[in-house]
Structure 1
Amino acid sequence: MSHARALEQAPWLRSGPTARVLALLNGDGEEARVVGGAVRNALLQRPIGDIDLATTAVPKEVVRRAKAAGIKSVPTGIEHGTVTLVVDKHPFEVTTLREDTETYGRKAKVAFGRDWARDAERRDFTINGLSVDAKGVVHDYVGGLDDITARRVRFIGDPAQRIAEDYLRILRFFRMHAAYGAGDPDRAGCLACIAGRAGLAQLSAERVRMEMLKLVVADGAVVAVTAMADGGLLQMILGGVGYTGPFAGMIAAERELGIAPSAVRRLGALALVITEDARRVAAKLRLTNAEAKALEAMADHWWQLAGLDEAAARRWLYRLGETAYLDRLMLAWARMGDGNETAHWRELARLPQRWQAPKFPLKAADFIARGIAEGPALGHVLAQAEQAWLAAEFPLDGAALSAIADETVARFTHDHRL
């Protein structure tokens, strides 16, 4: 039986593109509703992203009605009952009600139906099993309204069966809890995820990567990730140890600085100690080249950034650049930070906001004019001069620069005469 509650303050249902699609699909014996994440987020008063609809109408009827109304339709998954309608540049996935007739992993055999309850029961979590009609009435066949009120993420029906249908639901369970749950994850769901964890090996690295990068930036990521570590899931996902303490430390550091969460930075805090860890995680999750490079740069001798004074921090910022400097410093902060030193770490992290590293002002011509021939020797002298310039704290006046150039050439010449 359906339990209903009015969805308050939902102008997007009453007017605009969503209302137009609902009006198109309703009537003449058919009904359409908004389903899934849009309903969940509206009830939680969170931003609404994509708006998906379900309908009793079969795909051919959806396409026919769209054509008659001059609305573009795209058969994005028509064999599975999904047609995308584009209204005022807004895409809407419209899927015919379905029910499973056979289930074997992700390849469940489905048939089109007209039963809203059966369609809801084949979804993953109760908070995703809600639908709202054009009048703003929310229909709940699976207990999703109570779970939204309690901020509880539960599988619909038997958790083990839901997981066996798609093992990615293990990661989605923890990600959804991190985003929408409160307190500890649902015990029955957690135990089912642990029991089914071997199924994670069947998932593509790309799907796991997508879920993990979303999970680590969710508001409740610490609780979810800790539960995953306790259940033996993190080691399977990362191919190594998961460090929940530094992970929590990274989140605390981000909040201390008031900066937006970084998925790659948080992943680094969770998985990295040395550069080999970065390579392993990048391969395991099939990270993009940019993500892999960022992790490796973060892991490279991060401990050397602990306890820096201002002068040393400026030298590191000059060498690494702003992004790599902040990533590596924050990994050091997350792994070694002491609560009594928060102010010092904060000042080091904010260095790029108050100081911009100048460019090394000496050029090859300055040393050629002092008798250094072009070739390997010139490159060596330039590198030595740059180190001397850094040690002198970035002087820019001509006299200081001439002195550095002269001293570097003299030292090089002396060393090569010995």
Structure 2
Amino acid sequence: MSKLPSLAAAAWLNEPALQRLFAVLAAAGGEGRVAGGAVRNALLGEAVTEVDVATTLSPEQVTEACTAAGMGVHPTGIDHGTVTVVVEHHPFEVTTLRHDVETDGRRAKVTFTDDWEADAQRRDFTMNALYCDAQGRIYDFVDGRADVEARRVIFVGDPEQRITEDYLRILRFFRFHARYGHGAPDAAGLQACTRLRSGLDGLSAERIRQEMFKLMAAPGAVPTLQLMAAQGILSHLLPYTDDWRVLARLPPDPVLRLAALASDPASMKSRWRLSNEEGARLRNTIAHVPPSPALRPREQRAILYQLGPGTWCDLVRLAWARSDASLEDAGWQALLDLPLRWNIPVLPVTGHDLIAAGVSPGPEIGVMLRSLEDWWVASDFQPSRDELLKRLNRGT
């Protein structure tokens, strides 16, 4: 095995907040090491955006030591040994070393330990089982560094055992392959995921949504989704279309890709427990006729006014992806850029203006406003406030 590199010069490792946390844990008689994704990304030369810390101290010891040091401590996952420690406005998840004593395919009961290798052996993939101490020394108990460098997503130990501990690891296998993998996925891992795919049926909608949204934003999302479909895995998650060409032509926006992937986009809000905003985006992709470059400029402006820029861009991107046009097509690009070139105007008259003009308050105000707005839009937004009020006085 080649010598492990050092991360001593990494800027994120030398942040004062993180080093202070290390010092507090050490002063309490324990040790803290950065675990998982931060070490993986650092070895890949990718940005480190989140730093999680593993420690030999119990959650109670972490809480006591960090509170005494003036840090904020929140028991965000206390049953599994995790507290969130806020150091100088920087949050860190600090988790006690552990190993599983009982699993049911969704959640695990754990016992705490001070054995770093035991903690590594319970993790999902070798690339996520790396540790780095305060001085930048890397600890690798499962040959994870080699898999990181080869961009191989390999389960720690026996794939079937890892999956039956938590069936969400099936989706994580594909998500990490889509994000980090090169070449074909690990054969043993793929076979285990396929054999155990029915375990996905017992997962919560929220956990499925979280993993699938990350997968659909990954660089290798489309070929990975195709692989999941071929292995009979995708059908456990949603009824889907197989127009992979459209998916490949869309930007890595999970909601937009879901709109193209799902055979019934409107049903996905309840199926995956999407947010109201995500559900509304999906509904809007099927509730409106998409714009086209063949529309005249004033027709484009009228539709953009009615839809708003968000729905406009979603519909244009989907229609463009479904068209035969090149992704460099100038007409479609101009259509997509219309919200950047044209500021959507505001109707120059209000209900107060109508009342001031002598209209009695009541439902008639809304009817008149809608009538004036229709004329204003049909006139390409040109009539001024005075012209609208004159039209009102003419009995419109």
Given that residues 53 and 92 in structure 1 are in contact (C-alpha distance below 8 angstroms), is that contact kept between their aligned partners in structure 2?
yes
Q: State the shift of 1:136 in Å.
A: 1.0
Q: Which moved more, 1:355-364 or 1:15-24?
A: 355-364
TM-aligned CA distance change 1:375 to 1:70, over 3 Å: closer
How far did 1:74 drift? 3.9
* Range with greater deviation from structure 2 (95-104 or 132-141): 95-104
- The alpha-carbon distance between structure 1 residues 2 and 405, as it changes in their structure 2 partners (threshold 3 A), is same
* Matched residue, 2:88: 88
Worse-superposed segment, 193-202 or 122-131: 193-202
Q: Secondary structure at the match of 1:139?
A: strand
Match of 1:127 in 2: 127
| Aligned residue identity for 1:206 | E
- Please state if 1:330 is matched with 2:330: no
Secondary structure in 1 aligned to 2:304? helix
Partner in structure 2 of residue 25 of structure 1: 25
CA distance in 1, matches of 2:357, 2:49: 64
Which residue matches 2:116?
116
Aligned to 2:254: 263
Query: Which segment drifts farther, 124-133 or 224-233?
Result: 224-233
Q: Report the count of equivalent residues.
A: 396
Match of 1:359 in 2: 346
Aligned partners of 2:352, 2:19: CA distance in 1, in Å? 70
Aligned 8 A contact 2:293 2:331 in 1? no
1:54-93 mapped onto 2 (5 Å cutoff): 54-66=54-66, 69-93=69-93
- Equivalent position of 2:267 in the other structure: 280
SS at match of 1:4: coil
State the distance in 1 between where 2:336 and 2:51 align.
39
In 1: Cα distance, 2:124 partner to 2:356 partner = 73
Aligned to 2:13: 13
Deviation for aligned residue 1:69: 4.1
Conservation of the 8 A alpha-carbon contact between 1:302 and 1:332: no
Residues 206, 273 of structure 2: 8 Å contact kept: yes
Unaligned stretches of 5+ residues in structure 2: none
- Name stretches of at least 5 consecutive residues in structure 1 with no aligned partner: 252-260, 410-418
Question: CA-atom RMSD, angstroms?
Answer: 3.5
Distance 1:396 1:3, change over 3 A: same
**1:131-150 alignment runs, 5 A limit:** 131-150=131-150
Cα 1:138–1:399 change in 2 (3 A) is closer
Corresponding residue of 2:280: 293
1:365 shift after superposition: 10
C-alpha distance in 2 between matches for 1:341 and 1:304: 17
Aligned to 2:43: 43
Conserved 8 A contact 1:326-1:349: yes
* TM-score normalised according to structure 1 size: 0.81
Contact 2:8 2:137 in 1 (8 A): no
Whichever of the two has the greater Rg, that structure is 1
Deviations for 1:13-43, whole angstroms, at most 9, x for unmatched residues? 3451222222333378743311111211222
Contact 1:154/1:186, CA 8 A, preserved across alignment: yes
Match of 1:396 in 2: 383
* Aligned counterpart, 1:412: none
Deviates more, 1:393-402 or 1:213-222: 393-402
Deviates more, 1:111-120 or 1:181-190: 181-190
CA contact (8 A) 1:2 1:141 kept: no
Comparing 72-81 and 392-401, the one that deviates more: 392-401
1:6 counterpart SS class:
coil
Counterpart check, 1:313 vs 2:300: yes
- Structure 2: distance between partners of 1:304 and 1:51: 44
Contact persistence 2:104–2:165 (CA under 8 A): yes
Note if contact 2:28-2:65 (Cα within 8 Å) is conserved in structure 1. Answer: no
Shift of 1:346: 0.3
- Is the 2:127–2:145 contact (alpha carbons within 8 Å) kept by the matching residues of 1? yes
Moved more, 145-154 or 364-373: 364-373
> Residues 378 and 146 of structure 1: is their aligned pair in 2 closer, same or farther, counting only changes over 3 Å?
same
After superposition, the C-alpha distances for 1:326-385 in whole angstroms (9 at most, x for unaligned) are: 111211112224218721110100111111233345778999999999988886676566
Q: Partners of 1:293 and 1:145 in 2: how far apart?
A: 43
> Residues 89 and 375 (structure 1 numbering): CA distance in 2 closer, same or farther, change over 3 Å?
closer
Given the two structures, how large is their TM-score scaled by the length of structure 2?
0.85
Structure-1 separation of matches of 2:381 and 2:299: 12
* Aligned match of 2:204: 204
Task: Spell out, residue by residue over 1:135-181, the C-alpha distance to the aligned partner (whole angstroms, 9 max, x if none).
Answer: 21111111211111112222112222211111111222222222222
Question: Structure 2: how far apart are the matches of 1:159 and 1:328?
Answer: 41
The letter of the residue matching 2:326 is G
